[in-house]
Structure 1
Amino acid sequence: MGFEATQKGNPHKLTINQHVFPRKSIDRFSDESGLVQLFRMDGAKVISAASTNSLFCAKRAWDQSTESGIGKHIEDRFQALAQSILAGSTKVIGCLEKTVVEDFFSLWRTRQKFRAEGLEDFKLEGIRGDSLTKDQQEILERQHVMFSRDGVMPGRFAARIHVFGYMNTFRQDNQHIQWGIVRAGEGEFIVPDCFQDMMIVPVSPKLLIMAEEPNSTLTRSEVAITNQTAIERSTVYYFARKLASCPVLWDSPPRLQRLFSK
């Protein structure tokens, strides 16, 4: 599904490239040059990529309100928690932290769904729509106001409804789930474009937050199993600070294994 382009020059600064997994989270995996190693599944090759790379983004799949409103709120809360864990100030995922982690995981998974499937425009029965110029439409969206055209509303405006809906359902379905802070004793973690059904939230090359797992330090073999899970759940790409530092239980051809030993 294509995306709706803005006016030339994007005068109202609407976000076009929308990160599915946040830039700040990607940056924690970057090397001294500010890059991560990313494996593109379509071409079976490894590239170096900055967190600004469009591969990490959907193109205007959700509206500006979802991007800079609810999405930013969830991200900001999670980034503060991640920083607190890395600084050693937060040592357990308690009730308050659980909500922060689950809202973030739900947002990540929902954004991935928007990128993969898009949101169809929908007709508003009994509403004729607004006579608005392109400029007026963009001003309204920048101000977090929805609009319709000839009784049809752009699908991206439904995103905020879906975000809240999926988030609330996720909370209800996982009321009794506990999360643990999991560290890699040896090796580093791989980040998929989304963990899909596996409730794992990457924080840094050596740290994850994982559901139904107590605070623990994983052996090299356990890190390899986690990384294999990340690869299996990936659809477009996966990345790490340095893929050669990430053990994996390989069941793929030696040709692919050699890509990570360079």
Structure 2
Amino acid sequence: MANIEAAYQQVCDKIIDGHFDLTSAEHNAITDFYILWNLRDRENSEDKIYPQFSEFKPEKLVSDKNQQEKLEKEGVLFWNEKGEIPNRFLTGSSLQMQLWIERERMESTTWGIFKAKPDNGEFLVPDRISLHSVVPVTPDLCLVAGSKSKIVDFKFVARVNGLSLENSERYYFAKSIGNCPVLLQATLRDSLIRENLNHSDITTMR
């Protein structure tokens, strides 16, 4: 998955340098990162399952924790003292399969670059972004799926931060929390972002 993160970082570097015309490959790189972020969040939220295969009996169970760690570092699959395979060995394959499925579903997705006006607040970074297709990039930049690039004001930043805060499960962070306006409303959803794309307080980026 490191190649997905590296490709996304290259796109972010380009955006931060002020280049807002993205190629099809760069839109796809953002989509891949968005999917990966969601899949990892889903993985962390689910209960860890340790598979057992009743039809297959291993020659040896590995009960020593130090030996388990050594085997894991070498990428060697093992059964623990309970006859279970640690879930993390199967996670990589599962993520790759889900990534392929989500890529097909989001194949035509494009991303707009939203830049906050100077002194109009900063974007929060939540642990969960699956409930709204907004990806924070820097304190004053975020990416929004299916939208054109925009310059946004304090009110819009507050609404996006409200979504981020309400949908966070474990944590959120920012460069400076005190500079992050938040408008909390339980009814805020993707439609709220879409509605505000046409408001007069948002200027098309040139």
User: How far apart, CA to CA, are the structure 2 residues paired with 1:81 and 1:144?
Assistant: 32
Compare CA radii of gyration and give the structure with the larger one: 2
Equivalent position of 2:7 in the other structure = 77
Deviations 1:44-96 (CA, angstroms, capped at 9, x unpaired): xxxxxxxxxxxxxxxxxxxxxxxxxx3x33222222221222123x4233221
Residues 108, 91 of structure 1: alpha-carbon distance in 2 compared, 3 angstrom cutoff? same
Cα offset for 1:248?
2.0
Equivalent position of 1:174 in the other structure = 106
Cα offset for 1:208?
0.9
Q: For 1:175-214, what aligned pairs fall within 5 Å after superposition?
A: 175-185=107-117, 186-214=120-148
Quick one: which amino acid aligns to residue 217 of structure 1? Answer: I
Secondary structure of the structure 2 residue equivalent to 1:209: strand
Equivalent position of 2:202 in the other structure = none
Higher relative contact order (CA 8 A, sep 6+): 1
Larger mean Cα displacement after TM superposition, 141-150 or 202-211: 141-150
User: How far apart, CA to CA, are the structure 2 residues paired with 1:120 and 1:153?
Assistant: 9
User: How far apart, CA to CA, are the structure 2 residues paired with 1:107 and 1:81?
Assistant: 16
Cα offset for 1:125?
4.1
Query: Structure 1 length normalisation: TM-score?
Result: 0.62
User: How far apart, CA to CA, are the structure 2 residues paired with 1:203 and 1:195?
Assistant: 13
Is the 2:159–2:184 Cα contact (8 Å) retained in structure 1?
no
Residues 100, 244 of structure 1: alpha-carbon distance in 2 compared, 3 angstrom cutoff? same
Equivalent position of 1:240 in the other structure = 174
Quick one: which amino acid aligns to residue 100 of structure 1? Answer: A
Q: Unmatched 5+ residue regions in structure 1?
A: 1-69, 253-262
Quick one: which amino acid aligns to residue 46 of structure 2? Answer: E
Is the 1:102–1:170 Cα contact (8 Å) retained in structure 2?
no
Query: Structure 2 length normalisation: TM-score?
Result: 0.78
Q: For 1:1-262, what aligned pairs fall within 5 Å after superposition?
A: 70=1, 72-88=2-18, 90-131=19-60, 132=62, 133-149=64-80, 151-185=83-117, 186-250=120-184
Cα offset for 1:145?
3.2
Q: Unmatched 5+ residue regions in structure 2?
A: 187-206
User: How far apart, CA to CA, are the structure 1 residues paired with 2:58 and 2:67?
Assistant: 14
Quick one: which amino acid aligns to residue 82 of structure 1? Answer: C
Is the 1:129–1:152 Cα contact (8 Å) retained in structure 2?
no
Deviations 1:91-133 (CA, angstroms, capped at 9, x unpaired): 2332211222122112211221222223300012432125245
Instruction: Give RMSD over aligned pairs.
Output: 2.2
Residues 197, 135 of structure 1: alpha-carbon distance in 2 compared, 3 angstrom cutoff? same
User: How far apart, CA to CA, are the structure 2 residues paired with 1:79 and 1:93?
Assistant: 13
Q: Percent identity?
A: 30
Is the 1:74–1:103 Cα contact (8 Å) retained in structure 2?
yes
Secondary structure of the structure 2 residue equivalent to 1:195: coil
Quick one: which amino acid aligns to residue 76 of structure 2? Answer: V
Quick one: which amino acid aligns to residue 170 of structure 1? Answer: E
Give 1 or 2: higher strand fraction. Answer: 1
Cα offset for 1:250?
4.1
Matched positions, count: 181
Is the 1:190–1:246 Cα contact (8 Å) retained in structure 2?
yes
